Homo-oligomer: A and B are copies of this chain.
């Protein structure tokens, strides 16, 4: 069985989907990804679908499942590289990729995740009370 490779770049795990996903490949990817998130402590997962001509309900469901698994492991999932034709077909099929964030390309996906983490950290600081050192900003 073919496995989709998972690449670690900084705080992010990158998955580039190029194969037609079978049930087995999809399940293996979910398991591998969950294990890698736990092993590395990464806070972001970027799934690149540049190579996909079609995103059907099966792939859509797989992406949703991956996003849900990542979320409970404290990692944000962003799907990047969707082709215009894929976006049109998705809408025509009535698939809305609920709960999945998207970005135009890998770089923007990374920015999105970094911004989210910065916001979360800021939020934590706020609840902890202001820090006396880097001085007083709300």
Contacts and interface: CB of A to CB of B under 8 A. Distances in A.
A4 B50 CA distance: 9
A7 B18 contact: no
Interface string A51-93: 1000000000000000000000000000001000000000000
Given A16-B16, A16-B18, A18-B18, A9 B7 contact: no
Instruction: Say how many copies of this protein the assembly contains.
Output: 2
Contacts of A106: 7-9, 14
13 contacts: A2-B18, A3-B51, A4-B18, A5-B48, A5-B50, A7-B14, A7-B16, A7-B50, A8-B106, A9-B106, A9-B107, A10-B107, A18-B19
